[in-house]
Amino acid sequence: MYRSHNCGELTSSNINNEVTLSGWVQKVRDKGFMIWVDLRDRYGITQLIFDEERTSKAILDQAQKLGREFVIQVKGNVIERASKNPNIPTGEIEILVSELTVLNEALLPPFTIEDKTDGGEELRMKYRYLDIRRNPVKEKLIFRAKVAHEVRNYLSKQDFIEVETPYLIKSTPEGARDFVVPSRMNEGQFYALPQSPQTFKQLLMVGGLDKYFQIVKCFRDEDLRADRQPEFTQIDCEMAFVEQEDILDAFEGLTRHLLKEINDVDVEKFPRMTFDDAMKKYGNDKPDIRFGMEFGELNEVAQHKEFNVFNQAELVVAIAVPGGNNYTRKEIDKLTDWVKRPQVGALGMVYVRCNEDGTYKSSVDKFYDQEDLARWAEVTGAKAGDLICVLSGQSNKVRAQLSALRMELAERLGLRNPKQFAPLWVVDFPLLEWDEETERFHAMHHPFTSPKPEDIKLLDSDPAKVRANAYDLVLNGNEIGGGSIRIHDKTTQSLMFDHLGFTKEEAKEQFGFLMNAFEYGAPPHGGIAFGLDRLVAILGGQETIRDFIAFPKNNSGRDVMIDAPAPIDESQLKELNLKLR
């Protein structure tokens, strides 16, 4: 037995017990006549003591040779610690060591294995197995496991059945780029790794498993960012004989359960907002509603004067920044430079100071009088002491620009409290979106999303106005889940393929198996998929997912620890009938 206890559980109640501990050497303090060693494992740290009066010379000599991250086993007696440490659970005791075994020596690590380390991100990713020993990473992985455990517990108690679906599937043209896998046994043919188990969960509904879930790896070959990885994990769910309301109710329940069990937060209301309202009020379809600063559209009150920048704009839109009148001119100029960055893309920013005496001071005073500016304040809800920030331009672009500014200002003002949780359902998404590059409509979600029954007639006359039976669950400005009621009959599905530009032959080749399944009695069904990585990060008070993943990729999609992707041997290429250009 390598250990009788772990390094985080011994207390004063264990004094005089003989124990065996194993772990890594965190730190050695050698006074010559006395040596203290901090021994660390997953559970905590226990201090070991060796002294020349009570420890044999052989063991004392052995202890003097210990280095950081050596793996050791000790046996000894639990004694009261002379200098207690109230900051750790084991701080009242230490182990007087009677036996010491070095299980493995260690090289000096390339960075310190401590909460605050001297290692940069790339270095720590290269030695990720060492980084996991640090509490900030270790605790995030344990936190992730706790969330996944609660998800399984809750859904299982709601009669959901966990089913595994295949990883080697067929490539389809919709959505992001697939990762493809060559088939040795089928020359010139390829599998694809699933972007989601979408068609399989629909087939499970046809199969009669009316409540399915799976915590599953998914893969998308797309550009990366802080909250995106080429492989990610979904909580994938589907239900049969349901309407949209049933789905929203079921997964409000799951989200409410997680917030309570993980964060001890009670959330009663999950507001609902249409896609159109989200775009109009916040400039994006995943608004953070922990704070205000809703958009105010100023076209009617700003396009009647000689200011051509506004007169020529499709949309003039603004937000009121609480307390923003305190900003200096230099700070406002920096804010203007911020929105003009290529990442945001605005051409400039107009501002209005709302003075405490009820007057207004604007960067466009030449064109607008006090009465005009008072109307701007009324539309944006600005009060005395606030600052109105105004952008203008093409509607979709300027909404996105003001949305970015709103989030940046909220961050600077401390309005995005990670311990406050504000869930929101966004509903009534467009079914289709126009792609300028291909000059045709694409499914905003996927080809199996059901249109609102009352909008089907618009597919031929005005497809852009057709609403989807789709919904996203937003938490603190992040989409944590999304889904839809599915098309469950062959006629509607064929109609959808037609409007997405599939020929009959292409539809049959890509999705014939699903269309065939619909011939055998498919029930009405719908579902949702949560992004587990993002959900865990937000519940953990962060928005960057990387530290909540055991072995993440970097921003180039590389695993720098195992150096992947990497070339394969010429003989493997030949066996797979592949040839590199």
Which residues are annotated binding-site positions for L-aspartate?
A: 174, 220, 445, 486
Q: Which residues of 1-25 are buried (b: 16+ CB within 10 A; e: fewer)?
A: eeeebbbbebeeebeeeebbbbbbb
* Strand-pair partners of 530: 235, 481
**By the 8 A CB rule, do 96 and 76 touch?**
yes
Q: What string of DSSP letters covers 278-329?
A: HHHHHSSSS---SS----EE-HHHHSSSS-HHHHT-SEEEEEEETTGGGS-H
Helix 395-412 vs helix 329-339: crossing angle, to nearest 10: 130
Residues 6 or more apart in contact with residue 240 via CB below 8 angstroms: 205, 208, 210, 211, 523, 524, 525
> Which residue do the tokens 């998308």 mark?
220
**Residue 164 dihedral angles phi and psi, to the nearest 5°:** -85, 140
**By the 8 A CB rule, do 9 and 89 touch?**
yes
Q: Are strands 272-274 and 423-427 parallel, antiparallel or unpaired?
A: parallel
Dig out the tokens for 456 from the structure: 């089907």
Measure the CA dihedral 247/248/249/250, to 10°. 50
First to last CA, the chain: 56
Binding residues are: 174, 220-222, 229, 445, 479, 486, 531-534
| Residues 446, 234: Cα–Cα separation, whole Å | 16
Dig out the tokens for 32 from the structure: 């010559």
Contacts of the segment 247-251: beta carbons below 8 A, 24+ positions apart: 247/471, 247/483, 247/485, 247/526, 247/527, 247/528, 248/425, 248/471, 250/158, 251/473, 251/481, 251/528, 251/530
Q: Which residues of 523-560 are buried (b: 16+ CB within 10 A; e: fewer)?
A: ebbbbbbbbbbbbbbbbbebeebbbbbeebbbeeebbb
Binding residues for ATP are: 220-222, 229, 479, 531-534
| Residues 524, 480: Cα–Cα separation, whole Å | 24
> Which residue do the tokens 């310190």 mark?
112
